[in-house]
Amino acid sequence: MSDVIVIGGGHNGLVCAAYLAAAGLKVTVLERRHVVGGAAVTEEFHPGFRNSVASYTVSLLQPKVIRDLCLHEHGLRVVQRPLANFLPLPDGGHLKVGGERTAQEFARFSRRDAERLPAYGARLDAIADVLRALVLETPPNLVEGSWLQALPQLLKAAGLARRLRPLGLDGQRELLDMFTLSAGEYLERWFESEPVKAVFGFDGIVGNYASPYTPGSAYVLLHHVFGEVNGRKGAWGHALGGMGAITQAMARCCAQRGVDIRTDCAVREVLVERGRATGVVSGQGEVFRARVVVSNLNPRLLFQRLLDPAVLPADFRERIAHWKCGSGTFRMNVALAELPDFRALPGKTPGEHHGAGIILAPSLDYMDRAYLDACTFGWSRRPIVEMLIPSVLDDSLAPPGRHVASLFCQQFAPQLPDGSSWDEHREQVADLIIDTVNGYAPNFRDAVIARQILSPLDLERTFGLVGGDIFHGALTLNQLFSARPMLGFADYRTPVAGLYQCGSGTHPGGGVTGAPGHNAAREILRDLRRR
Ligand SMILES: Cc1cc2nc3c(=O)[nH]c(=O)nc-3n(C[C@H](O)[C@H](O)[C@H](O)COP(=O)(O)OP(=O)(O)OC[C@H]3O[C@@H](n4cnc5c(N)ncnc54)[C@H](O)[C@@H]3O)c2cc1C
């Protein structure tokens, strides 16, 4: 018998397991797939070509988690992109973002935007600092009952108020704006040029099935800037070997600490006896007993599929039924015979723009249209594509002279409006996405040797991402912080004693952060010490 069973070997499950094992507990991780890592894995998708299959770029992974799990000692190396973003434009122009040159680049479009850039950067950074400080904390949890039970939460809330003080009144007003305004409205307060607003506004719709003009999308923008690469705040980088290098390093740490990891082992039921979780049953009918059960799964999977409804309060079940999932993302990997030759910046030999996050969405209006089209037709004829070509930074991914590219595409309806299945459309949509890139780099279509397609339905089937939701639940105000996954259960505990959550459906949400796994382990250890 183990002390702890972790259901799911995504990166958060592994982080949680590693911390619990470090505290001396006997931990078993049960993973449904043949490989651990969840949405952070590297796989060969065509002979000789490997890539991060789903998540593809790193920034949010918490430095404390990297240190505590000794990920560098276990082989992890992250390199920064030479250029943060490259935005080719339909008229043949382009915008480069990253480092010192950004202001100069902005000035080509608007002198005023270039002048406002330092203040924008400083303000966003100050607000992101508040978020950074809260990522590894358990949010104040709303509790019913006596003042004695409520007091620790009130103190935590008071601590939160102290954290906000350095922002000043003006900064706090802006923080409130970021939780409520649209990315478009927020950015329009700062900038006037379309490409400038597009390059920043893109972060507001990544994994967010919404228009950049949808209220609340400004927060999603903020969610994408609280990370860092090797100490550089807000930067995004590449894990050598792909995102699987992160989770393989985590798995090595777990193995060193004695965690028993079983792959090809789906859990079909959580056992609950006298109101307490006592173990799980696998798809093959094997029973695993433990004092504590932790779920790395989307809350909908745990509470709707693995638990007997009778063990959950009716109002809780009702809320979970309305847990909003579906990030509207379509993901492809392509093997390339040569690098894209952009009309905006010709050349097939590696340039710094090839190592950037290449955004094919020239304006906020273009993104708004893509969302509106997706609501009506399922996807837009002019889709939003971000392309990364990690093989220019990492020669372990493709044969010499060849390349792999990640295509991450936004505003693809989680469920198609006409009721048809994504299986009927995935090839056609993949063609459209390739044609879209071809519009900017006319050698692209012919350079594609092979492609891997992940529609929202494929993401659900392969990774257990409900509705294809990359974050295990939308990052909307009613699903964040003390409300993630719902008020009263923001502390990684559930209505069932001994059953916890450690996945992205808990604070601080999705992304390869390791934070939910870290925080859940702390709460579990706290309870075990009390017992
Ligand atoms: C297409 C895509 C692109 C993304 N891009 C980025 C990015 O570039 N950078 C970034 O930081 N984040 C990105 N994300 C988000 C990020 O990858 C996820 O939020 C994060 O990996 C989720 O981690 P997790 O451990 O919480 O859950 P998951 O990774 O979802 O892990 C859950 C695990 O549980 C397993 N499981 C499910 N059901 C069962 C069961 N019944 N029994 C046993 N095991 C089960 C699953 O197989 C999976 O391994 C992206 C995600 C996607 C899908």
Q: Is the pLDDT of residue 142 over 90?
A: no
Q: Is 132 in the pocket of ligand 1 (CB under 6 A)?
A: no
Q: Is the peptide bond before 508 cis (omega within 30 degrees of 0)?
A: yes
Gyration radius of the chain's alpha carbons? 23
Q: Is 504 in the pocket of ligand 1 (CB under 6 A)?
A: yes
Q: Which atom of ligand 1 is nearest to the CA of 57?
A: 8
Per-residue pLDDT at 66: 98
Check: CB of residue 412 under 8 Å from CB of residue 458.
no
- Please write the tens of the pLDDT for every residue from 498-509: 999 999 999 999
φ, ψ of residue 137 in degrees (nearest 5): -110, 150
Q: Is 281 in the pocket of ligand 1 (CB under 6 A)?
A: no
**Parallel, antiparallel, or unpaired: how do β-strands 2-7 and 287-295 relate?**
parallel
User: CA torsion sign, 66 to 67 to 71 to 76?
Assistant: positive
In this prediction, residue 165 has a pLDDT band, given cuts at 50, 70 and 90, of confident
* Span from the CA of 157 to the centroid of ligand 1 (angstroms): 30
* Span from the CA of 504 to the centroid of ligand 1 (angstroms): 8
Check: CB of residue 403 under 8 Å from CB of residue 391.
yes
If you average pLDDT over residues 255-263, what whole number do you get?
A: 98
In this prediction, residue 162 has a pLDDT band, given cuts at 50, 70 and 90, of confident
Check: CB of residue 42 under 8 Å from CB of residue 245.
yes
**C-alpha torsion angle, residues 29, 35, 36, 42 (rounded to 10):** 170
Q: Is 469 in the pocket of ligand 1 (CB under 6 A)?
A: no
Q: Which of 193, 192, 190, 169 is nearest to 181 (CA)?
A: 190
Q: What percent of the chain has pLDDT over 70?
A: 99
If you average pLDDT over residues 274-301, what whole number do you get?
A: 98
* Span from the CA of 135 to the centroid of ligand 1 (angstroms): 18
Integer Cα distance of 191 and 133 in angstroms: 28
Per-residue pLDDT at 113: 98
Q: Hey, is 252 helix, strand or coil?
A: helix
List the beta bridge partners of residue 334.
405, 451
List the structure tokens of 126.
């100050």
- What letter does residue 101 receive in the DSSP assignment? G
Q: Which residue of 236, 286, 296, 458 sits with most ligand 1 atoms within 8 Å of its CB, as the best mutation to test the pocket?
A: 296
Q: Which of 506, 500, 503, 519 is nearest to 479 (CA)?
A: 506
Residue whose Cα lies nearest atom 27 of ligand 1: it is 10
Q: Is 511 in the pocket of ligand 1 (CB under 6 A)?
A: yes
List the structure tokens of 204.
């507001």
Q: Which atom of ligand 1 is nearest to the CA of 36?
A: 49
Integer Cα distance of 335 and 47 in angstroms: 10
Q: What is the mean pLDDT of the chain?
A: 96
Question: For residues 154 and 407, which has the higher predicted lDDT (pLDDT)?
Answer: 407
Q: Which residue of 297, 452, 454 sits with most ligand 1 atoms within 8 Å of its CB, as the best mutation to test the pocket?
A: 297
- Please write the tens of the pLDDT for every residue from 297-353: 999 999 999 999 999 999 999 999 999 999 999 999 999 999 999 999 999 999 999
In this prediction, residue 295 has a pLDDT band, given cuts at 50, 70 and 90, of very high
Integer Cα distance of 78 and 239 in angstroms: 4
Integer Cα distance of 437 and 388 in angstroms: 12
Check: CB of residue 157 under 8 Å from CB of residue 164.
no
Q: Is 467 in the pocket of ligand 1 (CB under 6 A)?
A: no
Per-residue pLDDT at 147: 66
**C-alpha torsion angle, residues 58, 368, 91, 203 (rounded to 10):** -20
Q: Which atom of ligand 1 is nearest to the CA of 459?
A: 53
H/E stretch holding 289 reads strand 287-295
Check: CB of residue 273 under 8 Å from CB of residue 111.
no
Per-residue pLDDT at 148: 66
Residue whose Cα lies nearest atom 6 of ligand 1: it is 55
Q: Which residue is listed with tokens 């490259």?
A: 86
Q: Is 471 in the pocket of ligand 1 (CB under 6 A)?
A: yes
Q: Which residue of 504, 506, 507 sits with most ligand 1 atoms within 8 Å of its CB, as the best mutation to test the pocket?
A: 504
List of residues 6+ apart from 291 with CB closer than 8 A = 3, 4, 498, 528
If you average pLDDT over residues 240-261, what whole number do you get?
A: 98
* Span from the CA of 70 to the centroid of ligand 1 (angstroms): 21
Per-residue pLDDT at 431: 98
If you average pLDDT over residues 244-262, what whole number do you get?
A: 98
Per-residue pLDDT at 164: 85
Integer Cα distance of 338 and 403 in angstroms: 6
> Could you tell me the end-to-end alpha-carbon distance of the chain, in angstroms, rounded to an integer?
18
Question: For residues 171 and 31, which has the higher predicted lDDT (pLDDT)?
Answer: 31
- What letter does residue 502 receive in the DSSP assignment? -
Q: Which of 127, 220, 116 is nearest to 172 (CA)?
A: 127
Per-residue pLDDT at 152: 73
Per-residue pLDDT at 141: 87
Which of 13-17, 177-181, 393-397 is predicted with the least confidence, judged by mean pLDDT? 177-181
H/E stretch holding 49 reads strand 49-52
Residue whose Cα lies nearest atom 50 of ligand 1: it is 55
- What letter does residue 81 receive in the DSSP assignment? -
List the structure tokens of 36.
């651990």
If you average pLDDT over residues 361-381, what whole number do you get?
A: 98
Check: CB of residue 392 under 8 Å from CB of residue 403.
yes
Q: Hey, is 329 helix, strand or coil?
A: strand
If you average pLDDT over residues 236-260, what whole number do you get?
A: 98
Q: Is 227 in the pocket of ligand 1 (CB under 6 A)?
A: no
If you average pLDDT over residues 383-399, what whole number do you get?
A: 98
Q: Is 237 in the pocket of ligand 1 (CB under 6 A)?
A: no
Cα angle for residues 12, 16, 19 (degrees, 5° grid): 140
Q: Which of 195, 228, 202 is nearest to 114 (CA)?
A: 195
Q: Is 244 in the pocket of ligand 1 (CB under 6 A)?
A: no
- What letter does residue 368 receive in the DSSP assignment? H
